[in-house]
């Protein structure tokens, strides 16, 4: 177990960067991903099947159709307790996602007498990537599919590496998904981004995945919407002296199950709490070998205000505020993917059944990025009705157009006034 003790002082940005630097830097996969994406874009189904054989099936030829037959999607494949848990997750995620959908139409009447209507509509077709590396992840499927449905997306597609586990096939049935493709990696992302002879392209791709999957999403984002770049998962616990060290240790160990891609961090103004936390980590970690974060970082701050400044600079994917003094900062947090308040607020609840989405900004990107929501599957545009405002707007707009060197823009506006002022 690697445990690092640091002091939080006057430069929280540098100290947060030093904490993140404890994680190994990923090797660039840009060029390899670019080659795969180009191969699928140019080669279609034939190239895609070859790549599925190379990367997904260990050389075995995939079936002629990469789409799963409808009869393979059956909620009866799920154990009863798993089915009940997923149904609760689906209901809670839907309630939260529904709350994030704005008004479909907002009308703005302008002083010159014309109207601009802001219309918000869902995209028609979206793909949810569900990782399939070390284990099946039906929770990721729920987060993506249910949120897209709440946004009003007509067609929701799932892609996930073969062989597709019964957990995923059962969860697809519970979520009402009928179009599922047995493919993963950059080739799967490219297939749904650009389409092939048998796979219709989508408008948005969402979901977590490996570094290769995330890089592929980034490379196709000029042709399709994406939710964001999701890197290694992280957590920061901001605790006061009253926090239960064992519960905090379990939360750090739980986040460490995601692997060594990122550190897990606790910060407090109380040295005795951090001593107790380190003792709990040493006692609990040997019986939990699956927890292998880059490091356990225990940071001592001069005050809880300094601790909050450090947390803001770190911009964690998950932020836990534990203990009454720490919990009072909840409304002041600006830079976190999701905030869990109180000793009962384990991050793990958010990963599964709390209703908040677990596809969240990572790597410090919570300074500017947001977690997956219905907004990622909706777009806003303006509907403009000029009407009788044409003369006033032409008088205002034509000089600007001419100043920019666009004479015909000016002529176009002025022509409406001369020919048909009511058009």
CA dihedral 10, 341, 86, 224 (to 10 degrees): -40
Cα 215–Cα 229–Cα 218 angle in degrees, nearest 5: 40
Q: How far apart are CA 78 and CA 75, in angstroms?
A: 6
| Spatial CB neighbours of 402, under 8 Å, sequence gap ≥ 6 | 410
Catalytic residue, from 317, 320, 358, 376: name it. Answer: 317
The tokens describing 311, both together, are 């947390």
Question: Known catalytic residue: 318?
Answer: yes
CA dihedral 157, 160, 164, 169 (to 10 degrees): -30
Task: Report which of 193, 171, 1, 12 is spatially closest to residue 90, judged by C-alpha positions.
Answer: 171
Question: Known catalytic residue: 317?
Answer: yes
Q: How far apart are CA 18 and CA 5, in angstroms?
A: 12
CB 71 within 8 A of CB 170: no
Catalytic residue, from 187, 258, 318, 358: name it. Answer: 318
CA dihedral 249, 251, 256, 262 (to 10 degrees): -100
Determine how many CB atoms are found less than 10 A away from the CB of residue 35.
10
Q: How far apart are CA 380 and CA 316, in angstroms?
A: 29
Residues with active-site annotation: 317-318
């Amino acid at each position: 177990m690697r445990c690092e003790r640091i002091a939080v002082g006057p430069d929280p940005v540098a100290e947060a960067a030093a904490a993140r630097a404890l994680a190994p830097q990923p090797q660039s996969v840009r060029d390899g991903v670019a080659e795969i994406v180009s191969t699928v874009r140019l080669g279609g189904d034939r190239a895609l099947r070859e790549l599925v054989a190379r990367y997904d099936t260990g050389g075995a030829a995939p079936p002629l159709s990469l789409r799963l037959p409808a009869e393979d999607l059956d909620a009866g494949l799920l154990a009863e307790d798993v089915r009940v848990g997923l149904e609760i997750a689906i209901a809670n995620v839907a309630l939260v996602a529904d709350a994030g959908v704005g008004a479909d139409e907002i009308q703005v009447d302008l002083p010159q007498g014309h109207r601009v209507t802001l219309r918000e509509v869902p995209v028609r077709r979206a793909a949810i990537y569900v990782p399939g590396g070390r284990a099946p992840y039906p929770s990721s499927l729920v987060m993506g599919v249910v949120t897209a449905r709440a946004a009003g997306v007509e067609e929701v597609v799932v892609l996930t590496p073969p062989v597709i586990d019964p957990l995923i096939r059962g969860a697809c049935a519970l979520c009402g998904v009928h179009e599922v493709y047995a493919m993963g990696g950059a080739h799967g992302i490219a297939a749904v981004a650009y389409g092939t002879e048998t796979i219709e392209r989508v408008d948005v791709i969402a979901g977590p995945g490996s570094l290769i999957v995330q890089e592929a999403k980034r490379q196709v984002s000029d042709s399709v919407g994406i939710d964001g770049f999701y890197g290694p998962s992280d957590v920061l616990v901001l605790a006061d002296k009253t926090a239960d060290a064992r519960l905090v240790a379990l939360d750090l160990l739980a986040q460490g199950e995601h692997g060594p891609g990122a550190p897990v961090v606790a910060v407090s103004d109380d040295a005795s709490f951090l001593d107790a936390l380190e003792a709990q980590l040493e006692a609990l970690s040997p019986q939990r070998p699956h927890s292998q974060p880059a490091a356990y970082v225990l940071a001592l701050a001069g005050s809880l205000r300094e601790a909050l400044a450090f947390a803001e600079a770190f911009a964690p994917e998950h932020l836990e505020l534990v203990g009454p003094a720490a919990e009072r900062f909840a409304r002041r947090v600006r830079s976190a993917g999701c905030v869990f308040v109180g000793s009962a607020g384990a991050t793990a609840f958010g990963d599964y059944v709390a209703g908040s989405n677990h596809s969240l900004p990572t790597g410090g990107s919570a300074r500017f990025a947001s977690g997956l929501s219905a907004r990622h599957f909706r777009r806003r545009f303006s509907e403009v009705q000029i009407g009788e405002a044409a003369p006033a707007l032409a008088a205002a707009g034509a000089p600007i157009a001419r100043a920019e060197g666009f004479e015909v823009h000016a002529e176009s506006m002025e022509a409406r006034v001369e020919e048909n002022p009511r058009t």
